[in-house]
Amino acid sequence: MNTPIYDFVSKYINDDVTRLHMPGHKGKGPLGFEKMDITEVFGADALYQASGIIKESEDNAAQLFDSYKTFYSTEGSSHLIRTMLFLASRGKADGYILAARNAHSAFASACALIDLEVRWIECEDSYLSCNLTPEKLEKALTCVDKAPFCVYVTSPDYLGNMLDIRGLSQVCHKHGTLLLVDNAHGAYLRFLEKSKHPINLGADMCCDSAHKTLSALTGGAYLHISKGASQLAAGAKDALALFASTSPSYLTLCSLDKLNAYLATDYRKELSDFISLVRREKNELCRLGYTLVGDEELKITIRAKEYGYLGTSLADVLARNNIYCEFCDKDFLVLMVTPQNTKEDLDLLVNVLRDISKKEPIMECLPKVSLPERKMSIRQAIFSQSEEISIDEGLGRVLGCLSISCPPAVSVILAGEVLDKSTIEACKYNGITTVMVVK
C-alpha cells in the first residue's frame, strides 16, 4: 500500500524549500522534530477538501477497513463524535437520539453544541458499562412513540466490554434507524483473524481513535461510513470542518498514512501472535486469583477489590515498579496493551502483580445510581449562569457544567440533570467535593 502523505512530506524536507508559510518553526526550530510538521502548502492537499494525497491515503484506509468511506481527523474521536451526530441529526430538528448512558463526555459536548435531544438507555452494570443486548434494544424501540434518528452506543467500553454490534444493527435497521458506534477503543478489531470491527458488523458510522490501540500519533482518528449508509458520506467533509481546527497536524496525518502500509502488511500477524501472549498472561493472572473483566483482547482490566485492594492501590504498586496504567479508580485497574509492548513488558506486569499477596475482598461497592431527572437540555444548562457549591449542598440542584469529571470522562450526571441522593453519593465515592450548579 502506498503512503502518499508521508512521501510528499519526506520529499518536501529533502527539497530543502524556503518555508514562507506556517508553522513558525520553519522546520528547523529548537525542538529537533519540526521538519515533518508542515501545513497545507501547494501539493499537500487540504484535509477537509481533500482531492490529492490526503484523499488517496483516506481511500487506502477505506480499503483496509472495508468501509464505504473513511475520513481522517487529527483531533481524535472527540471531533468525530461531534461529526457523526451532526451528520445523523441533519434535517431531523424534532428528532432525538437513543443513547446508552455510558457515553464519553465528548458525546455530551456534541449534544450541547448541536442542541440534540437525548433519551437514555439506562445501564444496569456500572456507569462505565452498559449491557445493551439486541433484545433490550428491540424492547426499547418498540415502546417509543417514534423511532430515534439514531441509536448511539460505546463498544468497546473503557473496561473492555463489547456489545453485539451485529445484533444491535439488525434491530436498528428493522426500526428504520441508524446505529452509530463510539469505537474509540477498537480500531484494531478490524485486524483480528475474524474482524470484530463495528463497520464490518453492520454499524452505519463509527469513529476509531487510531492513536489509542494502533500506532498513530495522538489525535489520529478515523470516521468510517458503511456501504449501507453511503448517503451520509456526501456531507461528511463539511461536517468535519464545522467542528475542526483549520490547522490539521501533518505529523499526525503522516502517522495515519504510514500506518496504512503497516496495517496492510505485518500488523495482522503481529497482532495475532501478541494476542496469544496476552491470553497466556491473563490466564496466569486468573490463576493467581485476580478477577479480570471484559472481552477485549488488548485490555487487561482487573476488578481490584475482589483481590483485597483498591484499583488505585494496585496502580501505586505498579507505578513504583515503573509500570503506568491507563486508568484506575477504587474498583478497577485498566491496562492497555498493543503489539508494540514486548513479552518482557507483560512478564514484568505479571511478576509485579504476583508479588502482591491476595487479601480479603473489600466489600464497599459503587453506590447504585439511578438515571437522574432531567430539568433542562444539556445546552440550556451549560449556557445558564452557574455557581460552585459543596456537593453536600447539591440535593435538588441542576448540574450546570457538562459533566462531573471523574475519569475516564463517563459521568454519573450530565448538565441539566438534577442531583439526587444517589448521584451525590456516587460523586462523593469518586472523591468529588464541589459541583457547578445552575444559579
Ligand X SMILES: Cc1ncc(COP(=O)(O)O)c(C=O)c1O
Interface residues with ligand X (CB under 6 A)?
Answer: 76-78, 104, 106, 154, 158, 182, 184-185, 209, 221, 408
C-alpha cell at 420: 439526587
User: C-beta of 184: minimal distance to ligand X in Å?
Assistant: 4
Amino acid at 264: A
Beta carbons of 35 and 27 less than 8 angstroms apart: yes
User: C-beta of 352: minimal distance to ligand X in Å?
Assistant: 25
What are the backbone angles phi and psi of residue 418, rounded to the nearest 5°?
Answer: -95, 130
Tracing cell 501472535 back to the chain, one arrives at 273
The residue number whose beta carbon is nearest to ligand X equals 76
CA-CA distance, 402 to 418, in Å (whole number)?
A: 13
What are the backbone angles phi and psi of residue 165, rounded to the nearest 5°?
Answer: -65, -35
Label residues 5-23 b or e (16+ Cβ within 10 Å = b).
bbebbeebeeeeeebeeee
Task: Give the residue with the Cβ less far from ligand X, 156 or 202.
Answer: 156
Omega before 23 within 30 of 0, i.e. cis: yes
- End-to-end Cα distance, the chain: 57
Longest dimension (CA), the chain: 67
Task: Give the residue with the Cβ less far from ligand X, 155 or 386.
Answer: 155
The contacts of residue 383 (CB under 8 Å, 6+ apart) are none
CA-CA distance, 17 to 293, in Å (whole number)?
A: 53
If you count them, how many residues does the chain have? Answer: 439
User: C-beta of 98: minimal distance to ligand X in Å?
Assistant: 18
Task: Give the residue with the Cβ less far from ligand X, 76 or 394.
Answer: 76
Task: Give the residue with the Cβ less far from ligand X, 243 or 429.
Answer: 243
CA-CA distance, 283 to 371, in Å (whole number)?
A: 36
Task: Give the residue with the Cβ less far from ligand X, 210 or 381.
Answer: 210
User: C-beta of 334: minimal distance to ligand X in Å?
Assistant: 10
User: C-beta of 326: minimal distance to ligand X in Å?
Assistant: 9
CA-CA distance, 300 to 259, in Å (whole number)?
A: 24
User: C-beta of 347: minimal distance to ligand X in Å?
Assistant: 27
Task: Give the residue with the Cβ less far from ligand X, 3 or 102.
Answer: 102
Task: Give the residue with the Cβ less far from ligand X, 184 or 349.
Answer: 184
User: C-beta of 107: minimal distance to ligand X in Å?
Assistant: 8
C-alpha cell at 378: 444539556
Label residues 251-276 b or e (16+ Cβ within 10 Å = b).
bbbbbbbbbbbebbeebeeebeebbe
**Cα dihedral across residues 353, 359, 361, 366: positive or negative:** negative
Task: Give the residue with the Cβ less far from ligand X, 185 or 224.
Answer: 185
Task: Give the residue with the Cβ less far from ligand X, 27 or 408.
Answer: 408
User: C-beta of 254: minimal distance to ligand X in Å?
Assistant: 18
User: C-beta of 75: minimal distance to ligand X in Å?
Assistant: 7
What 3-state DSSP class applies to 250? helix
